[in-house]
Amino acid sequence: MKIDLNLLDARDLLAKKEISSHELTKTYLDNIKKGEELNCYNTVATEHALAEAEKSDLRRKEGNHKSPFDGIPIGIKDLFCTNNIRTTASSRILSNFVPTYESTVTQNCIDAGLINLGKLNCDEFAMGSTNKTSYFGSVINPWQSSQSDAKLVPGGSSGGSAAAVAADLCVASLGTDTGGSIRQPASLTGTVGLKPTYGRVSRWGIVAFASSLDQAGPITKTVEDAAVLLEIISGHDEKDSTSSIKDKENFFQNLNNSVKGIKIGIPKEFESDDLPVSTQKAWDECKQLLQSNGAEIVDISLPHTMDALPTYYIIAPAEASSNLARYDGVKYGIREEGKNLIEMYEETRSIGFGDEVKRRILIGTYVLSSGYYDAYYIKAQKVRSLIKKDFNEAFQNVDAILTPSTPSTAFAIENEPDDPVQTYLNDIFTVPVNLAGIPAISIPFANDENNLPIGLQIITNSFEEQKLLNIAKNIQDTINYSHKPNKWWTND
């Protein structure tokens, strides 16, 4: 059966009864099996998915389907707690954890009839930009360079979510984005990744990394799918105090692709000689494209852009060091016995956490320590408000901002730099958005000279996801990006 369906395709096939949810789900489970080498899934919920698919078929037969998308199988980043399905955050410390509850976001998906195929690999506790920090091993990017068959990183932390969509191991997926963890892997895998406004989507039931930055969002094959999935997962949740009280919006229904009269800002601070020629070219072409479609291109300045990364690497680890304190071997997860409480803590956390997580806990603990708190944490908060102010001022003059999503395309897993700061630079274009709490999307624009996808990022002001999606759709409809990775991992 020809597959590689997006949400709208699958919706239509199900509506026309050309395929059942069971067949669809079965096909994707087969794809997952064939794609095991990509290491996208930490846990495949085979029986659960097939049972749910049967229920969905029954609902549809009786005309009781929960939504037009009832019965479509998706993948879930292994950071969302899922009732009765193991949830590990790709960490050894939670490698045996099976929640008794369902996160608000995944519950919203269940309420729309979507089917959970399984839990997608990611960087441990969502800390990383290459997916190499996962306890379950690296995810492998389905894309390969035309120059070599070296295994490439899919980006991170939602590497499994992005790779699974790119390799068609699910129709769409859910990720989370703290500093670029949806957009950066989307960019490296030729998929669409959307980070919503902070507060648009409930954080309840998602393993926390940095609470003031974390936001769940969709990774999809098309902009339409991003609108559909965002609409399904968003909305106020009284269980999350930081959740916005704004009403759910009909992002999909209201989607159009007009950019006439829209002002697009190009921040000069994102320009760099280090940017690959092909990325610069894609960026330039996109400006021209938008201009010829009726948008106005405006040069803007976001003066504190270069302060974003150091600010992020104070705030995020500070919050993480506290958020991860609960993984102590006392209540759930793994425990390594010790002679006394302190020794049990030390043993459990020593073997339970990987190096990158430990590094960030140490950084976070340090910047919150008395004597350093003002110099680091307080100062970082001040810079954070300056970064927000930059965006606020920019949005007085423009509707949206266009930048590259990442400073480079996918690179070989073995080429990841030893210096973590070099790896952190992968998020240089995405991090300011999280600090400002605003929405952004990465969409595939072109492939580089090695046939690897280049993503571009569109940023709008808070709660302007509709505008964001419309601009993205305009670009998508104009360029008709149709590259697919050649499926080297299967004989199909």
Catalytic residues: 77, 157, 181
Regarding 76 and contact with other proteins (CB under 8 A), the answer is no
Instruction: Name the segment binding other proteins (CB under 8 A); options: 45-53, 96-104, 221-229, 466-474.
Output: 96-104
Nearer to other proteins, 261 or 371 (CB): 371
Distance CA 204, CA 109 (A): 14
Nearer to other proteins, 362 or 421 (CB): 362
Distance CA 320, CA 211 (A): 8
**H-helix or E-strand spanning residue 189:** helix 183-189
Q: Nearest distance from residue 381's CB to other proteins, in Å?
A: 9
* The only residue of 365, 392, 451, 490 in contact with other proteins, by rule CB under 8 A: 365
DSSP 8-class letter at 378: I
Are β-strands 263-267 and 400-404 bridged in parallel, bridged antiparallel, or unpaired? parallel
Nearer to other proteins, 373 or 481 (CB): 373
φ, ψ of residue 62 in degrees (nearest 5): -90, 5
Nearer to other proteins, 321 or 476 (CB): 321
Regarding 343 and contact with other proteins (CB under 8 A), the answer is no
Distance CA 366, CA 361 (A): 8
Regarding 481 and contact with other proteins (CB under 8 A), the answer is no
Residues in 273-302 at the binding interface with other proteins, rule: CB under 8 A: none
First and final C-alpha spacing in the chain: 10
**Rg (alpha carbons) of the chain, rounded to whole number:** 21
Regarding 360 and contact with other proteins (CB under 8 A), the answer is no
| Residues in CB range of 97: below 8 A, 6 or more apart | 86, 87, 88, 332, 333
Extended strands (E) in 202-339: 215-220, 263-267, 296-300
Regarding 97 and contact with other proteins (CB under 8 A), the answer is yes
Regarding 392 and contact with other proteins (CB under 8 A), the answer is no
Q: How far is it between the farthest Cα atoms of the chain?
A: 71
Distance CA 128, CA 123 (A): 5
Q: Nearest distance from residue 369's CB to other proteins, in Å?
A: 6
Nearer to other proteins, 69 or 377 (CB): 377
**Per-position x/- string for 211-250, each x denoting binding to other proteins as judged by CB under 8 A, each - no binding:** xx-------------------------xxxxx--------
Q: Nearest distance from residue 207's CB to other proteins, in Å?
A: 5
Distance CA 195, CA 176 (A): 8
Tokens 């190009």 sit on residue: 266
Nearer to other proteins, 23 or 240 (CB): 240
**Which spans in 333-407 are helix H?**
341-352, 355-368, 379-397
Residues in 177-216 at the binding interface with other proteins, rule: CB under 8 A: 203-208, 210-212
Give contact residues for other proteins (rule: CB under 8 A).
Answer: 80-81, 87, 89, 94, 97, 99-101, 103, 203-208, 210-212, 238-242, 318-319, 321-322, 324-326, 328, 330-332, 341, 345, 365, 368-370, 373, 377
